[in-house]
Amino acid sequence: MTRTATVERQTAETQVKATINLDGAGRAEISTGIGFFDHMLSLFAKHGLFDLMVAAKGDLIVDGHHTVEDTGIVLGRTVAQALGDKQGIRRYGTAFVPMDEALAMVALDISGRPYLHFEAAFPGERIGDMASELVEEFLRAFAVHAALTLHVRLLYGHNAHHMAEAIFKALGRALDEATRLDGRIDGVLSTKGTL
């Protein structure tokens, strides 16, 4: 069973295409026009062991908001499609990831009930060429369109690059755990019989 999907979305503001293999080896080809965001998505793929391709073109002359948010929308939809009927998945994943002085926690549930709880205060308005507030915007769009309950908490840190890196690595590791197949699970991991 291959758990892969490709999703494309085009608006007046962006063109985004993403392909994911949930059972990959952490290979990534990322091009969004925002270098720091490319780096974060590559970390997400590497530490989640997903093969991920993202090609995004957006109205960066305005700012990065549309590109980052729409990439979250498309990547969320791609993960949802790759999961299919969610038969046999572990459903839950949690990861604590340190990056030097920063420590992030991500806990998620592939529940079908989109929700984001986000606790992180970055020390500056920008991280490289990306507005720091867009980390939360990406995560919200991703959680909604992947239909995840997603809790993200930065426990501490002071270097914005390290803080964001810990979050994206933890997201990859938690999603890898939640999407793993477990032969002991008959159907889906829910007493309702559906996710």
Tell how many helices (H) and how many strands (E) occur in the chain: 4, 10
**pLDDT confidence of residue 156:** 98
Measured in whole angstroms, how far is the alpha carbon of residue 188 from the centre of its chain? Answer: 22
Could you give the 3-state DSSP secondary structure of residue 150?
strand
Phi, psi of 180 (to 5 degrees): -65, 140
> Which pLDDT tens digit goes with each residue over 40-61?
999 999 999 999 999 999 999 9
pLDDT at 77 over 80: yes
Closest among 25, 83, 15, 82 to 54, alpha carbons compared: 15
**pLDDT confidence of residue 142:** 98
**pLDDT confidence of residue 175:** 98
| Backbone CA torsion sign across 5, 69, 121, 60 | positive
Q: Yes or no: say if 155 and 103 are a contact pair by the CB < 8 Å rule.
A: yes
Q: Where are the domains of the chain?
A: 4-179
**pLDDT confidence of residue 46:** 98
**What is the average pLDDT score of the chain?**
97
Q: Yes or no: say if 122 and 164 are a contact pair by the CB < 8 Å rule.
A: yes
What does the block give as tokens for 80?
A: 């949802």
**pLDDT confidence of residue 106:** 99
CATH fold of 4-179 reads Ribosomal Protein S5; domain 2 (3.30.230)
**pLDDT confidence of residue 91:** 98
Across 148-166, average pLDDT: 98
Residue 98 banded pLDDT, cuts 50, 70, 90: very high
Share of the chain above pLDDT 90, in %: 98
Residue 122 banded pLDDT, cuts 50, 70, 90: very high
Across 70-90, average pLDDT: 98
**pLDDT confidence of residue 12:** 97
**pLDDT confidence of residue 57:** 98
- Strand-pairing partners, residue 99, are 102
Residue 64 banded pLDDT, cuts 50, 70, 90: very high
